[in-house]
Structure 1
Amino acid sequence: MTRKKFVFDFEEGDGKNKQLLGGKGANLCGMTQIGLPVPPGFVITTEACLRYFDENKKLPKGLMEEVRAHMEDLEKKSGKGFGSKTNPLLVSVRSGSALSMPGMMDTILNLGLNDETAEGLCQLTKNERFVYDAYRRFLQLFGKIALGIGDEHFDRIMNQTKEQAGVQLDTDLQVDQLKDLAQKFKTLIKEKTGHEFPSDVHKQLELSIEAVFRSWMGKRAVDYRREFNITTDQANGTAVSIVAMVFGNMGETSATGVAFTRDPGTGENYLYGEYLVNAQGEDVVAGIRTPKPLRQLRKEMSAVYRQLEALRHTLENHFREIQDFEFTIENGKLYCLQTRNGKMNAWALVRTSIDLVHQGLINEEEAIFRVKPEHLEQMLHPQIDPKYKGTPLATGINASPGAASGKIILDADKAEAQGQSGEPILLVREETKPEDIHGFFAARGILTSRGGKTSHAAVVARGMGKPCVAGVEALEIDMGKREVRLGGQVFREGDILTIDGSAGTVFAGEVPTVEPEFMDELLELLGWADDLKSLGVMANADTPE
């Protein structure tokens, strides 16, 4: 009897089969097969995930043998060795279900590092800072996701290290400080688990695959599926993509970013996104540092910017949809790490539906079905009254449009509790994490002091149609006193603020709002719907009973 195949190389996987390979895995296969610059890798199917749960959280028989065989192929493609002391291969282990659930499941980067491979990578790259920056990142992600150690323990050590060094940013830490950080993280892992950090790279990989499978049934993923009515017919289980690492944190000619093929807030047709030099992907998405707008890359790395412009057109023409893609630049070379259909607010969705029809990428019927009833509801959300002349307390990044007033709430659990009782609230955080998703559901709007338009907070808020102002650098949060400082004023938790996600402004108290006006593009779309409805009635009249 032939054993079920659980693993597919990017060159062989069916790029249209998202149910089996997940959206991320299927799209990586599709991009590879049309010649885009995707790092080599393979996908473990959603069927393996479902079997894992069916067998009481045990990996299916034969899965790791398949994985090992594909890792050997990956070594040949990359010219590197997994666990090699002289030329080590590092990989990312990425989640991905059939429907996009941004940030709701887990991903681990830089897997394959231990003391020996780190030293080998130092000898190879002559860049100790890059290596130990990657190592401390891996130890934290692996410790959190695979071993269940809370982020706060790692963050406390990181903050103490930065304080002792007299710096504010991770990028300002020196090599010796990063080495010390890695050792402290390993000590923490032993304290919390009772075991040494596993230096066996194959054990690291096995534990990480299990952890990504488990994240399918994690609280935030379950809450997200419930909130958005995602059924098992639409998405069941997560696939796992194993991808050779490329590095955006190798110095000033390396970077990482997130881009949309059009503006997800307005639908305007231009390359839109953000990036950070000398960083890794989670820095942008998690909002750890406030990134630069992508237009600045045109000055910093003009050749790469031109490649990104070409990439956006290729992605839209291939997928016939607005794409949200992640990229890394390693020593001046561009790589595309993933793509998915972009989450937009209702205004952008309507505008892009019209534009895609005019460009011949979709037809009128497809355009109509892109816009759901709940999107039309979003378009009825209030806006700040243009007659209001109040001075904003502060300005940040207009991450998701619309206006919202509510009580300041500083953590997701409290937001959930007070939101369920019907109180209007604003979730106010330094940066949001995927674990905060239940607070998003309860809040009328989201306000953060860090992050940009492609951060977790911004992407999720747009998908929900909720106003969001991100990257308000003047916003200081004191969790001990449960208060915030803005515009020279102090506000306690429970005080009311108003945010304008269209302008990126924050006001004290409740600000007057007005109902929005219908946009011309919506009227055009509704006209198409009327025409199709008439055609449908005539077709039915001609059909015999």
Structure 2
Amino acid sequence: MVPFAHADPAQVGKLGAKGAKLVEDFQHVREVFSDLQDGIAVPDGFILTTDIWRQYHENGDRLPAEVVTHILEELQALEERTGRRFGDVSGRVPLVVAVRGGAPVSLPGAIGTVLNVGLNDDIVDKMLAAGEDRRFVLSTYVNAIRIYGEVVLDIPYQYFYEVIQKLGLGEEGSYPVEKLNDLIVAYRSLLDANPHPRFHGGFEMDLPRQLTNVIEGVLASWMAPTAMEARRSRQPKVPDDMGTAIIVQSMVFGNRDEYNSLSGVFFTRNQRTGANEPVIEWAPRIQCDKIVSGKIRKQLRQAADLENGFPDIYQRLLLAKERFEARAKRPLDMEFTVEHRKLYILQRRPLRMTFNATVRSMWDLVDEGKTNIQIASLIINTALEQPEKVLRDAFTDYQVLARGEPITDSADTGILAFGTEDALDLAREGHDVILLRRRPYGETDVAVNHPRIRGIIRCDGNTTGHEAVSAVAYSKPYLINVRSVDDEPLIIWTDEDPRLNPASQLAGFVGKSVFVDGERGILGFTEATDILEDRKFRKKQYVDWEYLWEQFSVIGYESLEYRELLDLHYQWELELEHYQQLEKQLRKEEPHIPRDQLITAMATYLTYVPR
């Protein structure tokens, strides 16, 4: 176990990828933002290394007693550093912690996270009696009970969602305050009614035991179906004995109030196109787990809304982008929370992007002086190996069934299945599947990690959630906010159960082979079979460095140094998009292309051809 301040961020195998980045940011945030020490911070904490996971596993999936003692000692040291006490019943806000899993390789959403650890009935009552905001205290407690039930007691989120529906509650963060006590009672009853074979039933009130249970629950999530499927889907497969580290970090609260607190996710570039434009999804008075898990029942706001409503926070995020990108030398994905108008960075990791986005963004970073051509080429070469399917250029014989907002730009085919359960049944039988999500606000995350689930479409969804991030990583077509082309709703609710609308044109294609295309943002049907090609063959023409070296040797460039080749190739990159657009126009035999434009393009091209 090691506190953030004393950990070595180079020890990714011990700290996990998430923990190593947190440690690096915690140790350097004052240096990177020396002019904004009161405006940007990383919450303090400590890490249980992957060695603890092995001790836990070898001890029959239980933490040894001496490890629990050490955890409580580290917690006491964190109390001294933060000035708050775990289990404080004085009425002040106590030390409350988040417990997150993080393996040495990034597996977004696959390992458990539990927030608000350190609350019980007594502490909540004392905080309310001391005059703390009632909505803040009760909503935080509601989240604590729900997440404990999900991660520690393995209760599906759907059960909690059904409770919310029965109580007739509205948007996230806007529940009537008088209903929050009812929700706490209902959640507690749900936990009591679902005993776990390893843990005492219900929500644990003893705080040291609560913390121990949570850590064991997150450790156990390493062998849960979502994490196992995620490991199997990675190439090469992530070994089961790698284990996960555990991050114990002091909580900051984005649900404090409507005007000074918020949470969100920030992509420093567009994950689909690579454009240098911020992608920010956020909401006021909410905790960040709902955004990244895709379970939020509230309309997310975007970058422009943040710039208008919280211009100081927006500018600080852009500053964080500039300085963190220069440090990491690549685009980033950051989770953040704002409490009392102070920005807290909760997580930073490399942004998962499509291949085209990787190429565009890395060359932009070269232009901006944040990286060099050698590093850019290495990252692009890695992305080159990312398998991506697209529709063949000449393919036009299809029927559009639905349209949505594309998160990726790849394409694939499979049997259309309604609901995760049916999709996984077909996938386990060996069928390729396109999944139409049955329920909004979260089903099991196993589906996106299953190699036979070839694409996902949903009537809700967000860009920055774990499922969307994983779809980009696996190059799976992923559409959100999907609507039928005949304007019929795809899903209708009867007796609180979501069903496919039989009047929708899409209903007749469940069980049939369909395709999803992320370039056009469509779900379609065709009788044709050979409609896909591997984008890698298109990529080779302009990023396969070894191939280029062979060709240059044949035609007279063998005397150039490797760096000169890269510089030359970079110039080609700047022209490539223009050439591709001209090629599409010529293939369509468009008559309006100016002759002088073609001559200029050809003249530029000829300057690269050996004499």
TM-score under structure 2 length normalisation: 0.77
Q: What does the per-residue CA deviation read over 1:233-283, in whole Å, with 9 as the maximum and x for residues that have no partner?
A: 798111111111111122322211111221111112232231122221122
Aligned pair 1:476/2:495, yes or no? no
* 2:473 counterpart of 1:456: no
1:291 matched to 2:307? The reply is no
Q: Which moved more, 1:90-99 or 1:398-407?
A: 398-407
2:396 and 2:385 map into 1 onto residues whose CA distance is 25
- Displacement of 1:523: 4.7
Equivalent residue for 1:34, pick from 28, 33, 39: 28
Q: Within 5 A, what are the aligned runs for 1:123-522?
A: 123=129, 126-162=132-168, 167-193=169-195, 195-230=201-236, 236-253=242-259, 254-289=261-296, 290-371=299-380, 375-376=384-385, 378-382=387-391, 395-419=403-427, 421=429, 423-429=431-437, 430-431=439-440, 432-433=442-443, 435-437=445-447, 440-472=450-482, 474-476=489-491, 483-484=500-501, 490-491=507-508, 493-495=510-512, 498-507=515-524
Q: Closer, same or farther in 2 for the Cα pair 1:527/1:515, shift >3 Å? A: same
Counterpart residue type for residue 44 of structure 1: L
Change (3 A) 1:314 1:122: farther
Q: State the distance in 2 between where 1:477 and 1:405 align.
A: 25
Contact 2:230/2:449 (<8 A) preserved:
no
Structure 2 vs 1, CA of residues 477 and 353 (structure 1 numbering), >3 Å: closer, same or farther?
Answer: farther
1:542 maps to none
Measure the CA separation in 2 of the matches of 1:102 and 1:452.
15
Query: Match of 1:260, as an amino acid?
Result: F
1:4 corresponds to which residue? none
SS of 1:419's partner is helix
CA distance in 1 between partners of 2:543 and 2:301 (Å): 35
Which letter does structure 2 place at the counterpart of 1:347? N
CA contact (8 A) 1:408 1:494 kept: yes
1:278 and 1:396, CA in 2 relative to 1: closer, same or farther beyond 3 A? farther
Where 2:107 maps in the other structure, the secondary structure is coil
Deviation at 1:37, TM superposition (A): 1.0
Aligned-pair Cα RMSD in Å: 3.4
The 1:469–1:232 alpha-carbon spacing in structure 2 relative to 1, beyond 3 Å, is: closer
- The answer for the alignment partner of 2:47 in structure 1 is 43
SS in structure 1 of the partner of residue 5 of structure 2: coil
Local SS of the residue matching 2:445: helix
Kindly provide the CA deviation profile for residues 13-47 of structure 1, in whole angstroms up to 9, marking residues without a partner as x. Answer: 11221111111111111101112511111111111
User: Do structure 1's residue 82 and structure 2's residue 91 form an aligned pair?
Assistant: no
2:66 matches 1:66:
no
TM-score normalised by the chain length of structure 1: 0.86
Structure with the greater alpha carbon radius of gyration? 2
Given that residues 407 and 424 in structure 1 are in contact (C-alpha distance below 8 angstroms), is that contact kept between their aligned partners in structure 2?
yes
Change over 3 Å in CA distance of 1:515–1:214 after alignment to 2:
closer
Q: Quick one: which amino acid aligns to residue 16 of structure 2?
A: G
Q: Which amino acid aligns with 1:312?
A: K
Counterpart for residue 123 of structure 2: 117
Q: Percent identity?
A: 27
Listed as ranges, the gaps of 5+ residues in structure 1 are 1-6, 540-545
SS in structure 2 at match of 1:441: coil
Deviations 1:97-150 (A, max 9, x none): 111000111000111111122223335563211221111111111012112333
Instruction: Give the direction of change, closer, same or farther, for the CA distance of 1:97–1:210 in structure 2 (3 Å limit).
Output: same
CA pair 501-217 structure 1, distance change in 2 beyond 3 A: same
Question: 1:255–1:278: 8 Å Cα contact kept in structure 2?
Answer: yes
Find the aligned partners of 2:71 and 2:413 in 1 and give their Cα distance: 51
CA distance in 2, matches of 1:97, 1:125: 40
Q: 1:247 to 1:235 in 2, by over 3 A?
A: farther
**Preserved CA contact (<8 Å) 1:394 1:487:** no
